[in-house]
Structure 1
Amino acid sequence: MKLVILDRDGVINQDSANYIKNENEWIPIPGSLESIAQLTQNNFKVIIVTNQSGIGRGLYSMEILNQIHRKMHRLLADMGGRIDSIFICPHTDEDECECRKPKPGMLLEIEKVYGISLQKVYGVGDSLRDLQAFDAIKMQPILVKTGNGQQVLKQKNYPKKTKVFKNLKDATQHIIKSS
């Protein structure tokens, strides 16, 4: 099974320090939806793992998050793409859960649900938390410079085996060529 794991905010859509609280605030990064469609058309399963602490903070509800995701699914379907699954962590750092990245709980759940190992599977993120979660279970981390990616690059404390690309489009080209 060909599989790619993506973070959402900052990789697929524009991120916001104030959180994405409704579907109107969910704005795709140029080329990201086309990239997911390209992965789909090259027989990859695409799974999103996303921290959504805005739920735990009471900034938006699960229903609002579902509306945002319906918009994403609809726009992707129009391009011939799809997201196969979305795994979310609704908790805040204070909750100390096992699913919130940088902990690998959502990734371990994917292994359990799909009955596969994610070792060497590409994981695309824009934050140190994403890369640390991917690295924790020996995935191949990819950092995109969109979202928080530029700040992560400056800190230079990300996993050594991380590949760096300008955006999801460039990362997708690499993933498809490497498969």
Structure 2
Amino acid sequence: MKPTIIFLDRDGVINVNRDDYVKSWAEFQFLPDVLTALKILHDHEIPVIVITNQSAIGRGIVTETTVQEIHRRMAHQVEQAGGYITAVYYCPHHPSEGCNCRKPRPGMLIQAAHDFNLDLRKCVFVGDNMRDIEAGKNAGCQTVFVRTGVHADRPIATFPAPPDYEFNTLSDFVQTFLPPSGNS
């Protein structure tokens, strides 16, 4: 399987998910081997788009400017490691707002498909929780569940929409489907 594009959730897939939200760059911590996995994706010319709920904005915990700065610095670190993030889509809304962009609704995926002229059936969404898998399924993507976040210990049978694939980490998924190319 070589997807057209890989969509990644942020908290719990790229970085450590914090119960109290990532409120600054100082609190952002890449998960082990994520930078290597993103380099492998870039070496294989597979674009990466981040799709993330950031309700801390709508809750008044962090400003949108701060979240944008975290994303800018995250993308810079990924580039320094040889990877590349094509775009970041985030839902800033409070969960009670009922917007179309908050996962499990597929709004951000549909917007990205429109912006990049993508066939979502040829895309993969990688997430660490049920909302991610549901969003991917709702958009028509292949889905990959990684056990690095909030639902790490949850049995797949309890998910409303089971994922197409399951791996312990993003790195395990990437290295299974796309071995290192030897580019340095």
If the length of structure 1 is used for normalisation, what is the TM-score? 0.93
In 1, distance between residues paired with 2:113 and 2:149? Answer: 27
1:17 CA displacement: 1.0
The one of 110, 118, 121 aligned to 2:120: 118
Aligned residues: 177
Q: What letter matches 1:106 in structure 2? A: M
User: Which residue of structure 2 lines up, in the alignment, with residue 28 of structure 1?
Assistant: 30
Distance 2:119 2:127 in 1: 19
Query: What is the aligned counterpart of 1:70 among 53, 69, 72?
Result: 72
Match of 1:159 in 2: 161
Q: 1:122, 1:175 within 8 Å by CA — same for their partners in 2?
A: no
Question: Any stretches of 5+ residues in structure 1 without a counterpart?
Answer: none
From 157, 172, 181, the equivalent of 1:170 is 172
Report if the CA contact (8 A) 1:88-1:106 is conserved.
yes
Q: Deviations over 1:38-83 (max 9, x none)?
A: 1011100100000000000111111111221122122111111110
What percentage of residue pairs aligned between the two structures are identical? 33
What's the secondary structure of 1:5's corresponding residue? Answer: strand
CA contact (8 A) 1:143 1:149 kept: no
Deviating beyond 4 angstroms after TM superposition, the runs of 4 or more aligned structure 1 residues are none
- Aligned-pair distance for 1:158? 4.5
Q: How does 1:56-67 map to 2 (within 5 A)?
A: 56-67=58-69
* 5+ residue gaps, structure 2: 180-184
In the alignment, which of 76, 82, 89 is matched to residue 84 of structure 2?
82
Residues 1:158 and 1:151: Cα distance change in structure 2 (over 3 Å): farther
Deviations 1:123-169 (A, max 9, x none): 10001000000011221110000012324336622423521101010
**CA distance in 1 between partners of 2:116 and 2:98 (Å):** 25
Deviation at 1:111, TM superposition (A): 1.1
Aligned-partner SS, 1:15: coil
The 1:120–1:159 alpha-carbon spacing in structure 2 relative to 1, beyond 3 Å, is farther
Seen in structure 2, the aligned counterparts of structure 1 residues 161 and 72 have a Cα distance that, compared at 3 Å, is closer
- What SS does the aligned partner of 2:16 have? coil
TM-score normalised per structure 2: 0.90
